[in-house]
Structure 1
Amino acid sequence: MLAETICSAVSAAGLGIAALTAYRKRFLAATRIAAYALVPVGLVLTGVVQWATEVVFKPTVWAGFGLLGLAWLLFATTRAVERRRLAKAPGPAAPPEPVRGGPARPAVAPAASRPATGTGTGGRPEDRRQPPAAAAGDDFSDIEAILKKHGI
């Protein structure tokens, strides 16, 4: 009952402001203000305000929301613990994890993925060489030249 009274008072005040705005010959703004002023009364008449006040001010509704949150928290916790256990001890007693895209099989020949011809590095990390430090300095000299060109 109190919420309906407040909504009616807000609407009456809004319509008064709309009337003053129309008196000043600002009809477009007055129409917009009147439209906003009629929204609270429309919400009261459709029952939305009564439904909202019943939900917001009832402790049993909030207890229900609390129980739903607790249930979600328990589900999330058990899921996290289950995943952690599977990651730590994937023994024969643990159920197999589902694999997307088919069953996981070891590669037939792991060395076959390296290129047969190429630069001679063989694809091994220890054979790769790092560029010399002077090459990195060249990159910065290009950047410095661009900055000088623009006066920075």
Structure 2
Amino acid sequence: MPAVDTVLLPLCVGLFLLGVIATGVAWRRHNKGRVIQGVALALAPIALFFSGLLRLVWNGAVAVINWAGAVIFSPAVWFGLSLLGLCIVLWVVGGLVSRRGAGGSKAEPGKAVTAGGLQTPKASATRAVAKTGPAKGRQPAPIDEEMAEIEALLKSRGIE
């Protein structure tokens, strides 16, 4: 019998016995649903042992522990983990920059983009305001900038 089985088999038998005890307590309380669940949980460790899945989990845990022990003493692994962290940070920053750049690169309706990237009001928009102007005797309604942006977006999509 390999060394892994000498550890896992007694552990599974112990968990099985705890499950049987819990099932006995549920039986005495006449809780049939809990009895069925107790039998299922009592049999689970034995089933995992005989199917080989428990050994797979054991080997995975041992591999992770060995890797963690190697990380502590290996400068090459620390360098690799540092590079991995740098990759993640650069990926996140690149996503933020591209999202911010995509939103700012589109010209707003009613504005023209100059060679330097600055946005200025289009001449036609300023002429239209100058021609119509406010009616005499009436004061223009205060313009909310956010509402003006929303209205411009709706008009650009053909919604009025």
Give the TM-score normalised by the residue count of structure 2. 0.46
Q: TM-score under structure 1 normalisation?
A: 0.48
Which has the larger share of helix? 2
